[in-house]
Amino acid sequence: MKNALKWAGAMLAIVGLLLALTACGTKQTSQTSEMSSSTGMNKGEPAPQFSLSNLDGESFRLADFQGQKVYVKYWASWCSICLAGLEDLNTLAGQDHDFKIVTIVAPGYKGEKPSKEFTKWFSKQPYENLNVLLDENGVWAKEFQVRAYPSSFYIGSDGILVKSAPGHASNEQIMDVLKEMM
């Protein structure tokens, strides 16, 4: 009986670890580009030039952040890993940095609530520093090739998508990647 309990506990720990590593979705390969030391510019492809509205209906375009580094986090209200990381990201977004933080949800896509329902739900959350953009039906999620929630996208000041990675990124990890970018 003791061996069976130990085995069950070990299996539960392994399953928990696997779930944490795969985030709230399917596995996605991390895409990383590096800076080119010879040109002083980031290597990679241009980031998708999204144009989205926030929860208050204000329009935002990636082009609005030209010349600035941008951290984009795609997340979902049903994703427990996403929700667990929002408080830390809210703290980071409230600090003064040389980069912008944008969070995006995709109402009507991959199980996300409709916009109206999401907006009502989010208005009750304590994240006053997060700017949440709405990507209706995942139009831009498809362009970014989001395959898991949460997913992080690091865009250089030159508009180049330098890195994409599924899963949770701590504030320290976010800042480390952004420090290395142009």
Helix runs in the chain, H state only: 2-22, 80-93, 115-122, 139-144, 171-180
Q: How many CB atoms lie within 10 A of CB 30?
A: 11
Write out pLDDT tens, residues 139-162.
999 999 999 999 999 999 999 999
Between CA 72 and CA 146 the distance in angstroms is: 11
**DSSP label at 137?**
G
Alpha-carbon span 154 to 73, nearest angstrom: 9
CATH of the domain at 117: 3.40.30.10
What's the pTM? 0.79
What is the number of domains present in the chain? 1
Q: Classify 81 as helix, strand or coil.
A: helix
Tell me the pLDDT band of 38, cut-offs 50, 70 and 90.
Answer: very low
User: Which CA distances in Å does 39 have to 17, 18, 171, 176, 182?
Assistant: 41, 40, 28, 21, 11
Beta carbons within 10 angstroms of residue 69's beta carbon:
21
Residue pair 71/100 in contact (Cβ under 8 Å)? The answer is yes
Range of the domain at 160: 2-180
The answer on pLDDT for 21 being more than 60 is no
Check pLDDT > 50 for residue 30.
no
How far apart are the C-alpha atoms of 2 and 180, rounded to whole Å?
50
pLDDT of amino acid 182? 83
- For the chain, the average pLDDT equals 84
Can you state the angle between helices 171-180 and 80-93, rounded to 10 degrees?
Answer: 60
